[in-house]
Amino acid sequence: MTSKLASSVRELFVAAVGRDNAFSDPDKAVDYGHDEFSLKEIAREPDLVVKPKTTDEVAKVLRIADARGVPVTPRGGATGLCGGCVPLHGGVVLSLERMDRVLEVDADNQMAVTEAGVRLSDFARAVEEGGLYFPPHPGDESAMMGGLVATNAGGSRAVKYGTIRNYVRGLEVVTPTGDVLRLGGKLEKSSTGYNLMHLFIGSEGTLGVVTKVILHLNTKPGTMRSLVVPFAELEPALETVPLIMKRGVVPLAIEFLEIEPITLTEEHIRKKWPTKLGATHLLVILDAPSEAEMDRLSEAVAAVCCEKGAIDVFIADTPSKQDEVLAIRSKIYDAIKSGTVEILDIAVPRAEVAGHVRKVRQVAAKYGMWLPTFGHAADGNVHTHIMKARFEAGRMVPVPESDWRDKADLVREELFRDCRERGGVISGEHGIGLVKKPFLSLVLDERQIEIMRGIKRVFDPRGIMNPGKIFD
């Protein structure tokens, strides 16, 4: 599918959203051709960017596009990491940025209703002002609610509170043919026919445009505490994670980290991590309704860690110590971004994480590459970073392209195969998008992919909705 818009068609789109909210000048449009995936070679310039304000305007845009066979790519905060909002075949980028109102925080039903273009940071603030709490917290707060739904985003708190899917109770979506569907509602239960709402969650903009979202909210947790636990070696650190869970403690998050990225991040944001001991650290974040319960949980976690040979257990129990630790964890990506080619997002069963990360180390040694690996250990979600840099004397040193380009492909493929052998999937939270599309058939059989294609045809008979993503 290719698109160069005829000026008469362009004018129809412009009329649908207003002249001030549509543009195609390359200086501005270039910013709408990529996401956070590092390699700019996947970027494509849209023929036109439209910024509708209402569901009705979204429906008008889609009807025009469907009638003329113009590809439409929905775009949220563009924080995606697999090229999902790249307009692969040109056409129209439909940016949700003007649909930015939190419409309601309904305390009695513990639900919020939001437009799709609200950023996660603004949504979380509005919910807290309403006295409630939205647990999922994927790492980039500039992501938009529609994008979070479209990718079924996760984040480190998924071990206790689940992913975005566990919170969505209703969606308003516009299908590629311009029909507005209102799916679900402020409902905690529904067994009323096929659940189309769940089909849209994680559909990466290939079935339609999410315009509104109804989300379940929790009450605020009482207290939070972070434990930083250094281990001399990788294996005991990762093998501790299933043991913590088996003892009946479900932390808010259990992250595993390597010392090199921590060192770079400390330097990058001028904050201090509690310890430099050991090679692999667990960051265990707990929440509890009372201090007494928090003490009980902390002691249980510390006991398991010590049994597995932890060097020490550092507790960040004041807000400032807590902020420092969480800031470092959340800024690792910024600190190593300039040297990163791709962030893998493999998810394996929790007890397989140690084995998979061991494989990462073998692959790193085989190809002579630095592959810093950390992630959501308790969710089995491992973020290996394929790098175009090496770590040397506390610094990130760039390596020439000839030293990483071909090897990156080999590393990716070997790790995806390892993931398959362990019963895993190639994306635990970021989605397939453009970048992982060639590998989908490694983990899903052809019949499943064919059924997915069939579902897409039902919603999108002309194939205009974010074409070329997930599968061809």
Ligand X SMILES: Cc1cc2nc3c(=O)[nH]c(=O)nc-3n(C[C@H](O)[C@H](O)[C@H](O)COP(=O)(O)OP(=O)(O)OC[C@H]3O[C@@H](n4cnc5c(N)ncnc54)[C@H](O)[C@@H]3O)c2cc1C
151 vs 298 by CB, closer to ligand X: 151
81 vs 313 by CB, closer to ligand X: 81
| Cβ 79 to ligand X shortest distance, Å | 3
| Cβ 435 to ligand X shortest distance, Å | 11
- Contact region with ligand X (CB under 6 A), list: 79-87, 175-183, 240-248, 407-415: 79-87
Site string for ligand X, 101-130 (x = CB under 6 A): ---------------x--------------
- Contact between 464 and ligand X per CB under 6 A: no
96 vs 294 by CB, closer to ligand X: 96
* Residues in 133-192 at the binding interface with ligand X, rule: CB under 6 A: 138-140, 143-144, 146-148, 150-151, 153-155
| Cβ 323 to ligand X shortest distance, Å | 18
- How far apart, in whole angstroms, are the C-alpha atoms of residue 314 and residue 336? 25
- Contact region with ligand X (CB under 6 A), list: 203-211, 231-239, 250-258, 443-451: 203-211
Find the binder of ligand X among 90, 184, 202, 205 (CB under 6 A): 205
Find the binder of ligand X among 9, 210, 325, 364 (CB under 6 A): 210
By the 8 A CB rule, do 346 and 423 touch?
no
| Cβ 95 to ligand X shortest distance, Å | 8
60 vs 75 by CB, closer to ligand X: 75
- Contact between 79 and ligand X per CB under 6 A: yes
- Contact region with ligand X (CB under 6 A), list: 67-75, 245-253, 256-264, 283-291: 67-75
- Contact between 36 and ligand X per CB under 6 A: yes
* Residues in 336-395 at the binding interface with ligand X, rule: CB under 6 A: none
- Contact between 74 and ligand X per CB under 6 A: yes
SS (H, E, C) the chain: CCCCCCHHHHHHHHHHHCHHHEECCHHHHHHHCCCCCCCHHHCCCCCEEECCCCHHHHHHHHHHHHHHCCCEEEECCCCCCCCCCCCCCCCEEEECCCCCCEEEEECCCCEEEEECCCEHHHHHHHHHHCCCECCCCCCCCCCEHHHHHHHCCCCCCHHHHCCHHHCEEEEEEECCCCCEEEEECCCCCCCCCCCHHHHHCCCCCCCCEEEEEEEECECCCCEEEEEEEEECCHHHHHHHHHHHHHCCCCCCEEEEEEHHHHHHHHHHHCCCCCCCCCCEEEEEEEEECCHHHHHHHHHHHHHHHHHCCCCCCEEECCHHHHHHHHHHHHHHHHHHHHHEEEECEEECCHHHHHHHHHHHHHHHHHHCCCCCEEEEHHHCEEEEEEECEEEECCEEEECCHHHHHHHHHHHHHHHHHHHHHCCCECECCCCCCCCCHHHHHHHCCHHHHHHHHHHHHHHCCCCCECCCCCCC
Find the binder of ligand X among 62, 64, 78, 387 (CB under 6 A): 78
Number of chain positions touching ligand X (CB under 6 A):
38
Q: In the complex, which residue's CB is closest to ligand X?
A: 147
* Residues in 293-332 at the binding interface with ligand X, rule: CB under 6 A: none
183 vs 313 by CB, closer to ligand X: 183
Residues at the interface with ligand X (CB under 6 A)? 35-36, 73-81, 84-85, 96, 116, 138-140, 143-144, 146-148, 150-151, 153-155, 204-205, 209-210, 333, 429-430, 433, 466, 469
